[in-house]
Amino acid sequence: MTAVTTAISLQEQYFPTMTCFGCGPANERGLRLRSFPDGETVVARFTPWPEHNNGLGYLNGGIIATVLDCHSAAAVVHEAHLRDWPALPGAALPYVTAGIDLAYLRPTPLEAELRLEAEVTEASYEEMTARVRVVHDGKPRAEATAVWKRWRPRS
């Protein structure tokens, strides 16, 4: 096994009881993304399931959107941790997705390990922006800009 598969992921470190379908370590039926810092980039490996087929033999666009959103979450929460910007009382995470602008660049293989990459490009206490992409065979398959805003729980 490689260090990436045996190390504690950012998800396991920062939100181990989260049940999010894409990145929640506590969701046994979810994708359970595992993201790791690598310098200024956060990386993950993801291998789609046969059920993620778009009907044409490629990865479904909704699954792509999910992994991009959830992988950007790892980068944003990690950046918040590095800056000592914890979640506010009553919030499960310090930030929540406010929007994602996604581009599908080329077909994404269904039966291949994919590399996810994310960098926080802008960070303030109120809002963060992350650039995130799916890469296979050295080529970006999809990329997105995700905007995250401070999660302020309301009753």
CB neighbours of residue 149 within 10 Å: 13
Tokens of 74: 């790892």
Cite the DSSP H helix spans in the chain: 3-6, 10-14, 61-82
CA distance 107 to 142: 8
Q: How far apart (Å, rounded) are the C-alpha atoms in residues 38 and 48? A: 22
Give the model confidence (pLDDT) of 4-50 as tens digits.
Answer: 456 999 999 999 999 999 999 999 999 999 999 999 999 999 999 99
For the entire predicted model, the pTM comes to 0.93
pLDDT range class, residue 154, cuts 50, 70, 90: confident
Handedness of CA 92, 14, 11, 133 (dihedral sign): positive
Identify the pLDDT of residue 1.
32
Mean pLDDT, range 116-120, rounded to an integer = 98
Options 3.10.129.10, 3.90.79.10, 3.20.20.70, 3.40.190.10; which CATH number does 10-150 get? 3.10.129.10
Q: What residue segments make up the domains of the chain, in order of their start?
A: 10-150
Using CA atoms, how far apart are residues 22 and 123, in angstroms rounded to an integer? 23
Q: What angle do CA 104, 52, 44 make, to 5 degrees?
A: 70
Angle at 124 between CA 13 and CA 20, to 5 degrees: 35
Q: Tell me the CA end-to-end span of the chain in Å, nearest whole number.
A: 45
Mean pLDDT value across residues 80-94: 96
* β strands within the chain, DSSP E: 35-38, 41-46, 95-104, 114-123, 127-136, 139-150
